[in-house]
Amino acid sequence: MKYILKPFSRLYDYITSVRNQGYDKGRSRIVSFSLPIICVGNLSVGGTGKTPFVEFLIQNLSDKYKVGILSRGYGRKTKGPIYADEIATARTIGDEPMQYHSKYQNIEVVVAEQRVLGVPFFADSDIIVLDDAFQHRAIHRDLNIMLSDFSAPFFKDEVLPLGRLRERREGASRADVIIYTKVKHQLSQKEIELYTQSTHQYAPNAQVFFTSIKYGELYPLNENSKNGLEAKEVFVMTSIAKPEPMLEYIEGNLQRKVVKHFKFRDHYSFTEKTIQRIEKEIGEQKTIIISEKDAVKLRPLLRNTSLQFIVIPILPEVLNNQKDQLLALIESALSKAE
């Protein structure tokens, strides 16, 4: 299979390299704005913990800045730039932007396929976080943060379809900060040095950090779901890239028996028929644990179901006592850009 995929990987690499050279050599225009801009993204497709990290930024920067989030709005059923308002839904702005919009009342959220066209929609933000935009180079950013899954680091990966990289490893050189996410164990000094040295082969100037997953307290998606909080036998339903750590936490740390996992593709659009089909299969009043990203899509669909949906929040935890160092680095970049 490797030999079959290798030519396609080379073709994909050629296409993305030509595109990047256009920006590197000034043939493609990069637009600058007066607002400081932080980019959060990755080299690989899906599953690096990007959404929780954007929430980490919102929670830790909102005391000093009015934060705006600019996203493509992947999976939405609309086109063009849209400012998230009181009638926004996951269908109109996408699941991840809707998660930010519904969870944090003091931020502005805008979606636009061409993100350059979305920036003018911000009316009251001090800074903008570009969500999942490492490859979207048409906007100048004051800080480039790249995430990479610790268990599948970019420096061991290959370009699509041979691997999961959206562009060659050297693309990491654009990052100011590279964060290895989803670390599951206590890091040894040898591991830290290995990852740092391997990173610097491709991004010699990047600051390297490590994060693990931290889960918050379960909460009911609606009033009717409260009784499900104490259930010991549960079902799990996900439409996220890599749900395995979530299942491990539910069974290991929460000590709940997962009877069945309903696994849908990333950004899947749920309907009432989806819920009805599942309820018919597992029976009434059963408890289903879901992610916050899926919660924003499911909330409007619960009028005719007895299923009890319980939400599990996810946030990154910066390891090695480096949270303050990471935030100081981010704030330094923002202050220089003002």
What's the pLDDT score for residue 282?
A: 97
127: pLDDT strictly greater than 90: yes
In terms of pTM, does the model score above 0.95? no
46: pLDDT strictly greater than 90: no
- The string of pLDDT tens digits covering residues 155-172 is 999 999 999 999 999 999
Alpha-helix residue ranges (DSSP H) falling in the chain:
2-24, 50-61, 90-93, 95-103, 115-118, 189-200, 244-252, 272-282, 292-298, 323-337
Mean pLDDT of 135-160: 96
Tell me the backbone φ, ψ of residue 5, rounded to 5 degrees.
Answer: -80, -25
70: pLDDT strictly greater than 80: yes
- The string of pLDDT tens digits covering residues 276-302 is 999 999 999 999 999 999 999 999 999
AA letter at 281: E
Q: How many CA atoms lie within 13 A of 304 on its CB side?
A: 9
User: At 139, is the pLDDT very low, low, confident or very high (cuts 50, 70, 90)?
Assistant: very high
Architecture, CATH, for domain 217-312: 3-Layer(aba) Sandwich (3.40)
- The string of pLDDT tens digits covering residues 215-266 is 999 999 998 899 899 999 999 999 998 899 999 999 999 999 999 999 999 8
Strand bridging mode 143-149 / 177-181:
parallel
The DSSP call for residue 188 is P
Read off the tokens for 291: 């992610």
Residue 255 buriedness (CB in 10 A; 0-12 / 13-18 / 19+)? exposed
Class of domain 22-65+126-213+318-337: alpha beta
AA letter at 175: A
Q: How far apart are CA 204 and CA 196, in angstroms?
A: 9
User: In Å, what is the CA distance from 139 to each residue of 58, 93, 124, 143, 336?
Assistant: 20, 20, 19, 12, 17
Tell me the backbone φ, ψ of residue 68, rounded to 5 degrees.
Answer: -115, 145
- The string of pLDDT tens digits covering residues 166-218 is 999 999 999 999 999 999 999 999 999 999 999 999 999 999 999 999 999 99
Q: Mean pLDDT lowest for which of 1-10, 64-73, 210-219?
A: 1-10
Q: Helices 323-337 and 50-61 meet at what angle, rounded to 10?
A: 70
Read off the tokens for 188: 């040894």
What's the pLDDT score for residue 158?
A: 95
Q: How far apart are CA 131 and CA 137, in angstroms?
A: 13
- Look up tokens 């990852």; give the residue: 195
What's the pLDDT score for residue 175?
A: 98
Q: How far apart are CA 175 and CA 135, in angstroms?
A: 11
2: pLDDT strictly greater than 90: no
What's the pLDDT score for residue 98?
A: 96
Mean pLDDT of 18-43: 95
What's the pLDDT score for residue 224?
A: 86
Residue 254 buriedness (CB in 10 A; 0-12 / 13-18 / 19+)? middle
Q: How far apart are CA 171 and CA 152, in angstroms?
A: 16
Supply the DSSP string of 118-176, one letter for each residue. Answer: HGGG-SS-SEEEEET-TT-TTB--SEEEEEEETTS-GGG--BTTTSSBSS-GGGGGG-S
Residue bearing the bigger pLDDT, 74 or 46: 74
- Where in the chain is CATH 3.40.50.300? 22-65+126-213+318-337
Q: What is the mean pLDDT of the chain?
A: 95
75: pLDDT strictly greater than 80: yes
> What whole-number percentage of the chain has pLDDT above 70?
100
